[in-house]
Amino acid sequence: MIQTVRKTWIAIALTLGLALAGPQDNSLVVGASQEPRVLGDFWNFITAQAIASEIENLLWAGLEFIDQDGNDQPLLATEVPTVQNGRVKVTDIGDGKKRLEIHYTLRDDIYWSDGTPITSKDAAFWFEVGKHPGAPLQDPTYWERLKEVRVIDDKNFVVVFEPAFFYDLVGSAIGLAPEHVMREAWEATKAEIAKLDLKKDAQKVTDLYHKFISSFASPKALNQGKQVFSGPFTVRRWVPNSSLELIRNPKFHIEPPGGADKYVQKVVYRFIQDTNALLVAILGGAIDATSSVALTFDQARAPQLTRRAEGRFDIWMVPGVIWEHIEVNKFTNVQSVRDLMLDKKETRQALTYAMNRQGLVEAFFQGLQPVADTWVHFQDPNANPNVRKYPYDPEKAKAILAELGWKDLDGDGYLERKTEDGRTVKFEIEYVTTAGNRIRERTQVFFQNDLKKVGIKVKINNAPSAVVFSHDFFSKAYDGSWKGLFEFAWLFGIVDDASVFTCNDLITGANLVPTPDNNYSGVNFGWCNDEFDKLRAQAMVEFDAEKRKQLWHRMQEIWAEELPAIPLYWRSNPYVIKKGLVNFISSTYHGSFGYPTTQGWLIGWEQNGAQKIYDQADYATPVR
């Protein structure tokens, strides 16, 4: 009992202490519902968590960063390499492929937090580790195309891609790792790897890479000061399952307007996995701002939060790059696909007209999650605003279906048609999604009622995510594992390559339609358009932004006409921010995926003299 009381008072004291932080001691307390496994996994050998990426923006700087408007800006490099400034050389190597050479120059005033200059050796070291045989790579295609990091001198190096893709020029082409800190451990790791067979001992090899990363990136290693930093903050203390404290890095090269002392000097991440408890902490004043991984959409709109917001904090909904949509099985070898003519664009158009997508986002999300027109986000620089739209129009849906031969033959309110082989089939369509996801399950019922109004019967068939996303279910639509509609989400950053809708990759030669012939590889469920594939192949190797934009515009026109999938909406990410906190800003493409920490050196309190450089209102919708 004494222990319980003592722990309770400690918890209250900590909460009160954090509640009194903020402008008073020029600190920032961020609430997050997830905790990183490691920090400083420069190659993503162990993990690629969103929360880790967010925090790492505060600790390590890249050669470039993507600003709140989706534009590249130099950070450790003197300028962003382009064809126009002579830092990018593009060479035609035949078969529509190109070689890309990117010349980077590092600034003279950049240092690791221990005072060691950041040099080209740190780029070469990063490349050496990632290219070493047996590395557990998350994106092997990238590393295969990354051919060379050629050091010219301490401040100049060239990065070579072959074949090159356009997005090799979006954000930093490569990473950096502190060679002077990690070299000795890496040499020991290489020696151990050399003793093993890369195939037979694959798990042991992976374990060695994980051990190497953990020796610098684990909470214990970081608390012992075994890593150095290049960003605006450094790690002071990490208490697992509780908090992470960062302090300002005096070696960081950017001086914010008015002087660094006027901006946040300490950032504390509080890890509260129970989002209800996180909400309580926000209401109690213990949290200054929320992470990109924090409250749920519904919690951010909860009356207990919105009623107390006025004068204390702002609640924002930032349009994100998570695309909620419905895939359609278009494989005609599946009987029900043939019967319902799901392979015909007219059928998919009718379905989309019949589904009140705007009504859905108004009813479920107060209009805060924008309806999607294609797979390209409306804030993407390549977005085409003039594509064909599909407003809710049940009468138009009925007319299209009638033209396809559908009629209510038996008077039960549902459509039937006579097939060429003399059968009578009903328009009854399967609708699959992840069981237990309340929003998706409610969405199914909403659209089930919409489709009933035009004579389509919906059969809901859900299963847990582990089941529906298993290879035997998700990938085998060709075999009829799912026969109609399948709702889930894709994540499309600013470097989307449209591969999910590509039939034949004309660059690699791969067929991306999952069938038995390619062991069910790819996620294009039966839609092939030769013009789309050709445009995509051209766009991938087009380094003129305006020319690539025109290619993407035409691709979107084709997609919106053909509707290989039914676009629903773009998920919005909620943020809660205390009044007076400035430049803790998020936008759709800030840092590629909307992280609020991409320009961490500018975060501060107006009360302490920090200048407001960016306005969150320009990139988000307030919750009232």
> Taking the domains of the chain in order of start, what are their residue ranges?
2-37+231-312+579-622, 61-214, 320-570
- Counting Cα atoms < 13 Å in the Cβ hemisphere of 110 gives 24
Q: What is the pLDDT of residue 521?
A: 84
Tell me, what's the pLDDT at 21? 63
10-residue mean pLDDT series, the chain (624 residues): 35 41 90 94 87 95 93 96 94 88 98 98 98 88 92 98 92 97 98 94 92 97 98 98 97 97 98 93 95 90 90 92 95 97 98 98 92 94 95 98 96 94 96 91 97 98 90 93 95 85 88 91 94 95 89 98 98 94 93 88 97 95 88
Residue 609 has what pLDDT?
A: 97
What b/e string do you get for 608-623 counting C-beta neighbours within 10 Å, with b at 16 or more?
bebeeebebeebbbeb
Of the chain, the end-to-end C-alpha distance in Å amounts to 43
For residues 320-345, one letter each, b for 16 or more C-beta atoms within 10 angstroms of the residue's C-beta and e for the rest, the string is bbbbbbbbbbbbeebeebebbbbbee
Read off the tokens for 609. 């003299």
Cα torsion angle, 120, 124, 125, 127, sign: positive
Return the amino acid letter for 437.
N
Q: What is the pTM of this model?
A: 0.82
Greatest alpha-carbon pair distance for the chain in Å reads 82
How many angstroms from the chain centroid is the CA of residue 244?
A: 23
The C-alpha atoms of residue 263 and residue 609 are separated, in whole angstroms, by: 7
Cα–Cα distance between 292 and 591 in angstroms, integer?
A: 12
Q: How far is CA 507 from the centre of its chain?
A: 24
Reported in sequence order, the residue ranges of 177-328 that DSSP labels E, i.e. its strands, are: 233-239, 243-248, 266-271, 289-290, 313-328
CATH class, domain 2-37+231-312+579-622, is alpha beta
Q: How many angstroms separate the Cα of 149 from the Cα of each of 121, 139, 157, 160, 607? A: 10, 18, 7, 6, 46
Type of residue found at 461: N
The third-level CATH classification (topology) of the domain covering 61-214 is Dipeptide-binding Protein; domain 1 (3.90.76)
Cis (ω within 30 of 0) for the bond into 163? Answer: yes
Q: What's the pLDDT score for residue 12?
A: 34
Residue 131: predicted pLDDT = 96
Half-sphere exposure of 396 (CA within 13 A, CB side): 15
Give the Cα separation of 461 and 465 in Å (integer). Answer: 13
Model pLDDT, residue 591: 80
**What per-residue confidence (pLDDT) applies to 466?**
84
- CA-closest candidate to residue 312, choices 291, 286, 293, 294: 286
Query: Among the CATH numbers 3.40.640.10, 3.60.15.10, 3.10.105.10, 1.20.1250.20, which is that of 320-570?
Result: 3.10.105.10
